[in-house]
Chains A and B, each alone.
Chain A
Amino acid sequence: MQFYDIVSETCQFDDDFMKRLGFKDIFTINKEVMAVGARGIANNDSPTIALGKETGQLLNLVKQGATAVAITDSYIDRKLMEAIKEQGCILCFPMSVITSSYGVERTRNIYKMSKLFAHARKAKVDVTFVSMAKDKTHMNSCMQLIELAKLLGADEAYARKAIADTTRMIVEE
Chain B
Amino acid sequence: MPDAKEVILRIKRQVSPKGTPYWEEFALPWRPAMNVIICLRDIAETAVTRDGKKTTPISYDSNCLEEVCGSCAMLINGKARMACSALVDKLEQPIRLEPFSKFPVVRDLAVDRQFMFESLKRVKGWIPIDGTYDLGEGPRMAPETQEKAYPLSRCISCGSCLEVCPQVNHHNKFIGAAIVSQVRLFNMHPTGAMHAKERILALMEPGGIQDCANAQNCVKACPKDIPLTESLAEMNRQAWKQALVGWLIG
> A and B: real partners?
no
Spell out B's residues near A (CB within 8 Å). Answer: none
Spell out A's residues near B (CB within 8 Å). Answer: none
